[in-house]
Amino acid sequence: MLDTLLTQIRKIDKKHQKALKKLGLFTLKDLFFHFPLRYDDFSTISKISNLKREQTATVRGIIQVIENKRTPRKRMIITQALIKDKTGSILAIWFNQPFIARFLRPKTEVLLAGKVGLGISGLQLENPAYEKVKKDQVHVGRIVPVYSVTENLTSKWLRFIIKPLLKYTNQIKDFLSAEIKQNQNLISLPWAIREIHFPTNSFRLKQAKKRLVFDELFLIQLNSLSKRLEWQKNKSYPVKFPKELIKSFVRSLPYKLTDDQKRSAWEIIKDLEKEKPASRLLEGDVGSGKTVVATMAMLEATKAGLQSCLMAPTEILAKQHFETISNLLKKFDSIVGLLTRTDSKIKEKSLSKEISRSQMLSKLEKGKIQVLIGTHALLQEKVKFKDLALVIVDEQHRFGVKQRARLRKINKSGLTPHLLSMTATPIPRTLALSIYGDLDLSIISEMPKGRQKIETQVVSLEDREKTYDFISDQIKKGHQVYVVCPLIEESDKLGVKSATEEYKKLSKKIFPHYKIGLLHGKLKKEEKEKVMSDFAQGKIDILVSTPVIEVGIDVPNVTVMMIEGAERFGLAQLYQFRGRVGRGKAKSYCFLFSDSETEKVRKRLSSLVQAKSGFELAEIDLKMRGPGEVFGLRQWGIPDLKMASLMDAITLKKARDEAKKLLEKEPQLKNFPQLREKLKEFGEMVHLE
């Protein structure tokens, strides 16, 4: 029955079938798991004599009179009904709904819920929800579910369809064991589904939410921890900690490491000592010093006679990493290689040498290159290492199953390298545990001393011209500018700035005398690399870009970051854009332009001016917008979390503990067939490639 197609249910016509399909609802099971967005509590019945203006109230009474009237001016039909209870009477009015007078007749007992307004003849209920009094109310006189809908679909229609079908929820398999339900004081799944749609009372609704939140967090954790167990079945290289060498490396740096850098480095060092392959995420703001920490780990592998590699998302970023890391290692007898689509070279001490691709591959296989930098193309079958002990991945946290499988075959020895991912996206710890439950987490939240503060302003519409003048002055001083826009092409529907339109406007009208470049995701890879390279070399004064520069290039000469349609971006993303400037010695600026002047938008953008770190901003953004919107959870491969608050640290810990306990006893879940089936279904929804 649960697999019954909605097209086969008699009450659902073709118009509604089409609308349900838009929401991704095809079967009865889909409908049951389309949870309400929120609830209207119409369960408390008020006496008519106690009603007050502006209050939202539910009343129960008898219809005395009901009629339709047409207004003389606007030709609008108004339906009026006089409702009476034991304490008094009140007028209910509806606009352009003449059919109500045919449905609700005089002497009918009804429940009405709506806002109390003031009319010509006194208090009145305006456009109230209505329902005849019956044994089991659906729309009024109870806690009423309100659903996410689309064109040709209403919450009222969904309630009408779902309520009689809930008798089939008994066919839903409860995949949680009796032990877990007892430990966590959880109700059964069929009961939770019934109560989430039509709660008996607020306590039962709370119980239903508790069960469904636990289910989703438990499945996320079970999925992550299962993958972790699978990964750790492999054998890796135990790398001994070379204490004196690392001390010498730290002394060679022209600055002091922060406490966070030291702690993160120590966590990675401890990982490398184990025979099981590590899987860690190193998280820190742009400019917080993640690369130095990663370089320490690479130096450790080199000292042990092993190899390491770093994969970057773009060629230009790979080249920057190559220069940075080879400079950091020049005193330590490390041969560093760069392998991209256009480059194949090695650097030993300060000497750089171009070599052929075949020479590079041969040296790698013989173990003659200790550190290799490149793009994700390093995972191609042709690239083989003698003893690759450490893989560092920059800005690709979701290292998928196929990619991990490739790492198992990358060495002649058959051993699996340790895996370290790095990200500049600030994600609060609890949320990171939800999204990246299979990774250990190290956080660098301190910025190195001496890192200059970037002056940030939310620019009003009337100050736009002054800002253009300021930008012009910066370019005259020999500096460069980023301009970030939300879209590639103009969208009338959204009415937000596009990169192509902004590029045309700045080139032709605002800054015709300056060299302006355009960068967006639809450009071919070679075109993107050329634009970024020209900008890095100072051949472009202003780079107009979509968010592709978020994982961008380090150009110390850029002093201005100008963001159009700033309200369209998350605060953490804006913080990352801003981190692209202030990387040189000159004072830097970030200007936020918004098409919305609302108080809410101004407050949110102003928090970027005040916040001390990206993590603080991520927390603010989560409170204001919620995790789904902030992190676009679909891009992480997690299905829409219909109920779970990913910031619910207490439930998350309980779910993680239960998942750990279960996997310790039953790593294959052989005695839990329903849970195994549910986990497989969940895993198919979660695309972690």
Distance CA 330, CA 371 (A): 12
pLDDT value at 439 more than 80: yes
385 and 369 Cβ atoms separated by less than 8 Å? no
CA distances from 655 to 172, 182, 218 (A): 21, 13, 5
Mean pLDDT of 373-377: 86
**pLDDT on residue 32:** 94
Structure tokens at 634: 């679909």
Structural domains of the chain sorted by starting position, each given as residue range(s) with its CATH number in brackets: 1-39+142-172 (no CATH), 44-134 (2.40.50.140), 243-273+289-423 (3.40.50.300), 455-612 (3.40.50.300)
689: confidence class by pLDDT, cuts 50, 70, 90: very low
349: confidence class by pLDDT, cuts 50, 70, 90: confident
CA distances from 338 to 298, 312, 320 (A): 15, 11, 10
Distance CA 81, CA 61 (A): 11
Three-class SS state of 362:
helix
> pLDDT, tens digit, for every residue of 282-307?
988 777 889 999 999 999 999 999 99
Structure tokens at 228: 């972790």
Q: Quick count: other Cβ atoms within 10 Å of Cβ 467? A: 17
Closest CA to 420 of 262, 322, 303, 290: 290
**pLDDT on residue 536:** 87
641: confidence class by pLDDT, cuts 50, 70, 90: low
Distance CA 628, CA 638 (A): 10
pLDDT value at 494 more than 70: no
**pLDDT on residue 50:** 92
**pLDDT on residue 397:** 59
181: confidence class by pLDDT, cuts 50, 70, 90: very high
**pLDDT on residue 582:** 82
Distance CA 126, CA 80 (A): 10
Q: C-alpha angle 86/91/94, rounded to 5°?
A: 135
Q: Where are the beta strands (DSSP E) in 498-639?
A: 516-519, 542-545, 558-563, 589-593
Mean pLDDT of 610-638: 61
The dihedral built from the CA positions of residue 113, 115, 119 and 121, taken in this order, carries a sign that is positive
pTM: 0.74
Of the chain, the percentage scoring pLDDT greater than 90 comes to: 50
> pLDDT, tens digit, for every residue of 522-557?
788 788 888 888 998 899 999 998 877 655 567 889
Three-class SS state of 56:
strand
pLDDT value at 419 more than 80: yes
CA distances from 442 to 133, 318, 400, 629 (A): 59, 23, 20, 25
Distance CA 603, CA 481 (A): 26
Q: What is the DSSP letter of 509?
A: I
**pLDDT on residue 398:** 57
pLDDT value at 23 more than 90: no
Q: What is the chain's Cα-based Rg?
A: 31
DSSP string, 582-596: --SSS--EEEEE-S-
Task: Count CA atoms within 13 Å of residue 528 on its CB side.
Answer: 18
489: confidence class by pLDDT, cuts 50, 70, 90: low
278 and 236 Cβ atoms separated by less than 8 Å? yes
647: confidence class by pLDDT, cuts 50, 70, 90: low
Distance CA 177, CA 672 (A): 8
**pLDDT on residue 313:** 82
**pLDDT on residue 625:** 61
Distance CA 167, CA 165 (A): 5
Number of H helices, E strands in the chain: 23, 22
Distance CA 220, CA 491 (A): 36
Helix, strand, coil shares of the chain, percent, nearest 5, are: 40, 20, 35
Q: How many angstroms from the chain centroid is the CA of residue 114?
A: 36
pLDDT value at 578 more than 90: no
Mean pLDDT of 110-129: 91
**pLDDT on residue 93:** 94
Amino acid at 517: G
HEC assignment per residue over 456-486: EEEECHHHHHHHHHHHHHHHHCCCEEEEECC
pLDDT value at 260 more than 50: yes
pLDDT value at 591 more than 80: yes
**pLDDT on residue 624:** 65
Q: Quick count: other Cβ atoms within 10 Å of Cβ 537? A: 10
Lowest mean pLDDT among 71-75, 134-138, 620-624, 652-656: 620-624
Lowest mean pLDDT among 66-80, 99-113, 442-456, 489-503: 489-503
688: confidence class by pLDDT, cuts 50, 70, 90: very low
Give the helix/strand (H/E) hosting 620.
Answer: helix 614-625
Residues facing residue 481 across a β-bridge: 542, 560
Length of the chain: 689
**pLDDT on residue 687:** 47
Lowest mean pLDDT among 217-221, 312-316, 334-338, 660-664: 312-316
**pLDDT on residue 637:** 47
Three-class SS state of 337:
strand
Give me the chain's average pLDDT, please: 86
pLDDT value at 407 more than 80: no
Distance CA 255, CA 244 (A): 19
49: Cβ contacts below 8 Å, ≥ 6 apart = 87, 88
The b-or-e profile of 583-621 (16+ CB within 10 A means b, else e) is: beebebbbbbbbbeeeeebbebbebbeebebbbbbbbbb
Distance CA 256, CA 289 (A): 11
